[in-house]
Structure 1
């Protein structure tokens, strides 16, 4: 009994000490104005200190674990998720509070940079946004040279992927030059990705019935048009990776025609 009488107060004291420690943490100024998640991970509402500037090309990770590279080393910011092949060309716009909103070619906000150096990532899974932290410098996002043979093979692979997704043959054609071949190769992969995404939903499969062939050509500005069963994608090599429409824009055009 003596031993039992000794252990009970000791256990109670330990519990009380832990509770007091937790209460003191919760009452701290850092947590008083933000959540525990904010305190441990991201930017807090009361944060007033400017963060160090991120490298022009850097890798980031969101609080949900989504990794991505943001390349601001050239005229057009580029973003690539680690889980996807596609590179997104973004248009920066200054918001009412001085934040910079990075939008895709549909005008949707993908990333927001605050005046203090914080970042918020917006995705289909987290449309309300999730904070992101810079992990360090990363290689620049650039197109690689593509030989005529490699372009032909990529076009065939893109056609095969799109045909498998749709359940029928969707041919891919292109009018390429040495200067436009890298971008046309990239656009063909993005077009096949859009078709695969369309095939993943009942509504998308109905929209996919409108597409019989994909044609990629050079032009003055990047665009996409669906007419008479032909998905015409226009690329602008001088704009680099920003010179072709995104998979979201291709899907949008297919859904509205």
Structure 2
């Protein structure tokens, strides 16, 4: 009976191959070692993401209850906290032990992802980092096309929000085209967010005294300058959400 075992096994394998479509099953069988490696160590995307455990767009909740969305479906990873209107364009960089650190446009760490899928988020209230847990899928973070009227409304909203925070009038104006209007509108929202953050600081009054108007234009690279009471923000539409300064960069410009 023992001598018949190899023949029985061969017959079983042959029958299985035929039932599974033969060629396709063999291809899967040959891929088994790679699948096993990914199962043990996790598949890796170019930005360091463990593709077997985390969705490309996901919602996370930190240990102090702060929720955020991380979108890794586009050219640059994007992050948005659910209690803020700002979307952060991040730059992934390799770190020790196979980790990946995601930095803002000032080179400061915003997020750290470990090789095993752990995530730590760094905020103003938790600069040392707060562990975050995967809470489910989410919708990709994208700019929506805007017409002239919608852009004017967004500029008016930014004017109102910034003026309330500063307790004086700060007007928002723009030189926009159909190709730049969506990014300029988003940049206005981010600039207003920067004004709100300034107003909360102890030196906020001094910082806000540097300007009374925000002008937004399209250009070759994102930048922020202040001249003669005007904050001039340049956006680069070809770079998507990474093509405008973050609120951190705006604050850094004012600090200088």
* TM-score normalised by L of structure 2: 0.78
Equivalent-residue separation in structure 1 for 2:201 and 2:136 (angstroms): 37
In the alignment, which residue of structure 1 is the partner of 2:100? 100
In the alignment, which residue of structure 2 is the partner of 1:28? none
Shift of 1:167: 2.5
In the alignment, which residue of structure 2 is the partner of 1:255? 255
Equivalent-residue separation in structure 2 for 1:140 and 1:213 (angstroms): 32
The RMSD of aligned alpha carbons is 1.5
Shift of 1:49: 6.5
In the alignment, which residue of structure 1 is the partner of 2:141? 141
In the alignment, which residue of structure 2 is the partner of 1:76? 76
Equivalent-residue separation in structure 1 for 2:228 and 2:96 (angstroms): 43
SS of alignment partner, residue 64 of structure 2: coil
Equivalent-residue separation in structure 1 for 2:192 and 2:108 (angstroms): 22
Q: CA-to-partner distance for each residue in 1:2-42, whole Å, 9 max, x for gaps?
A: xxxxxxxxxxxxxxxxxxxxxxxxxxxxxxxxxxxxxxxxx
Structure 1 segments of 4+ aligned residues over 2 angstroms from their partners = 48-53
Equivalent-residue separation in structure 1 for 2:161 and 2:119 (angstroms): 35
Shift of 1:213: 1.1
SS of alignment partner, residue 202 of structure 1: coil
Equivalent-residue separation in structure 2 for 1:49 and 1:132 (angstroms): 20
Equivalent-residue separation in structure 2 for 1:182 and 1:243 (angstroms): 11
Equivalent-residue separation in structure 1 for 2:103 and 2:173 (angstroms): 30
Q: CA-to-partner distance for each residue in 1:139-162, whole Å, 9 max, x for gaps?
A: 100011111011111111211221
In the alignment, which residue of structure 2 is the partner of 1:223? 223
In the alignment, which residue of structure 2 is the partner of 1:176? 176
Aligned length: 209
Equivalent-residue separation in structure 1 for 2:161 and 2:135 (angstroms): 34
Q: CA-to-partner distance for each residue in 1:19-76, whole Å, 9 max, x for gaps?
A: xxxxxxxxxxxxxxxxxxxxxxxxxxxxx97574311111111111111110000110
| Counterparts of residues 103-122 of structure 1 (less than 5 Å) | 103-122=103-122
Shift of 1:251: 1.0
Q: Any stretches of 5+ residues in structure 1 without a counterpart?
A: 1-47
In the alignment, which residue of structure 2 is the partner of 1:244? 244
Shift of 1:201: 2.4
Q: Any stretches of 5+ residues in structure 2 without a counterpart?
A: 1-39, 43-49
Equivalent-residue separation in structure 2 for 1:96 and 1:182 (angstroms): 38
SS of alignment partner, residue 97 of structure 1: helix
Q: CA-to-partner distance for each residue in 1:67-93, whole Å, 9 max, x for gaps?
A: 111000011000001111110000100
* TM-score normalised by L of structure 1: 0.78
In the alignment, which residue of structure 2 is the partner of 1:152? 152
Shift of 1:248: 1.1
In the alignment, which residue of structure 2 is the partner of 1:88? 88
